[in-house]
Structure 1
Amino acid sequence: MDGGNAVAQAIHDFVVRNRDCYDLIVTTQDWHIEPGRHWSEDPDYVDTWPVHGKAGSANAQLHACIKDLNIDHHMKKGQYSAAYSGFEGVEDNSDAVPTREEVDAMASRTLERLLRDHGVTDVDIVGIALSHCVKDTALDAQRLGFATRVYTDLSVPVSPELGELALDQLRDAGVILVEGADSTL
């Protein structure tokens, strides 16, 4: 994805500068096992995609810049569905490919539960792709009552058009959009 490496580096730098300002930092990542029609040999790049984020593969691993941050909590999503929102994932700090039964057993380890257990009331969301995963995670966070901000300069969309559509949807939902990759909180 164009800009993905640059965004990963910018996120890394932002977290290094601002880590002490956050009570909790969590990653989310596609960890697809059998995501159904989400993978397609003829993708439309809106709802269907080439094989990506395949659990256990190098493609599903966190970007090296993010992995270097040594974050303790990792939400893996989309094992058996598209799952764009981080709130559809389960906490799984292993690199192993779980069975369906193991995924089901993790069902209570949700992002919402993790945030609430840590007393989090405000969330900042960054990443790839603004037009899909960042957007859906932010919309879910807002719907669940978290004060939600998206750092637009720490996110990148699949396309400029889908990015603008996502920004409109986020604004309409009351999500705060900010730029501040170079800032210190």
Structure 2
Amino acid sequence: MGRALIVVDVQNDFCEGGALAVAGGADVAHGVTAFLDRAAGSYDVVVATADWHEPLPDSNAGHFAVAADPDYVTTWPEHCVRGTAGAAYHPALRLPEGVLHVRKGQGRQDYSGFEGQVQGEDAGLADVLRARGVDGVDVVGLATDHCVAATALDALAAGLDVRVLTDLTAGVGVRTTIDALTRLAGRGVALTTSAAR
């Protein structure tokens, strides 16, 4: 069977200077690119997910704060609006040919890449990976305590073997990142690094 690398939301708005920046986001973009260069050919499939939200005044089912300030837990400032520079992948992220692109949050509150739409496919990500013989995934990207954790948990729920390469992730907050990693480990997700995988 095969293994996939899922690169979660390494987009301009989640990196330094973006609308919802994560400290260390640009480093993750550089690190994932270097890792892909080193690991060329070791993954059967590479997936890249991206938030792809509708612009305000659409709240994206309550995801964007509209009538009040964002609480940064369930409501957020406008970010990763479809077709904008903020929604583009960070320029340091170089993806291989044949990558599967997943767009999520299109008018909804998607966090997991498994909730999004695989471009050019009629099936969801879990089914697309199964059809390609994938039974395990490594998850990297942004942010550890939100979309990375949600993607890893959904991969686990889909029956996949899941590893998170923690050196190729960055979180919004220290406490929430620790809590997310603890929850992942408790559910059976392997926490490792790109050097040890």
**C-alpha distance in 1 between matches for 2:128 and 2:99:** 12
Question: Which one has a larger percent strand, Structure 1 or Structure 2?
Answer: 2
Cα offset for 1:63?
A: 1.3
Structure 2, gaps ≥5 residues long: 1-21
Q: Is the 8 A contact 2:113 2:147 kept in 1?
A: yes
Cα offset for 1:112?
A: 0.7
Cα offset for 1:66?
A: 2.1
Task: Name the counterpart of 2:9.
Answer: none
Q: Which amino acid aligns with 1:46?
A: V
Q: Which amino acid aligns with 1:81?
A: R
Q: Please, what TM-score do these two structures have when normalized by structure 1?
A: 0.86
Task: Name the counterpart of 1:63.
Answer: 90
Structure 1, gaps ≥5 residues long: 94-105
Q: Is the 8 A contact 1:18 1:184 kept in 2?
A: no
**C-alpha distance in 2 between matches for 1:160 and 1:69:** 31
Distance verdict in 2 for CA 1:29–1:131, change over 3 Å: same
Q: Is the 8 A contact 2:33 2:94 kept in 1?
A: no
**C-alpha distance in 2 between matches for 1:84 and 1:176:** 20
By relative contact order (CA 8 Å, sep 6+), the higher-ranking structure is 2
Q: Secondary structure at the match of 1:65?
A: coil
Task: Name the counterpart of 1:40.
Answer: 65
Aligned counterparts, 1:111-122, within 5 A:
111-122=125-136
Task: Name the counterpart of 2:81.
Answer: 54
Number of equivalent positions: 170
Q: Please, what TM-score do these two structures have when normalized by structure 2?
A: 0.81
Q: Secondary structure at the match of 1:12?
A: helix
Task: Name the counterpart of 1:3.
Answer: 24
**C-alpha distance in 2 between matches for 1:19 and 1:109:** 26
Moved over 3 A (4+): 67-71
Aligned sequence identity (%): 40
Question: Which one has a larger percent helix, Structure 1 or Structure 2?
Answer: 1
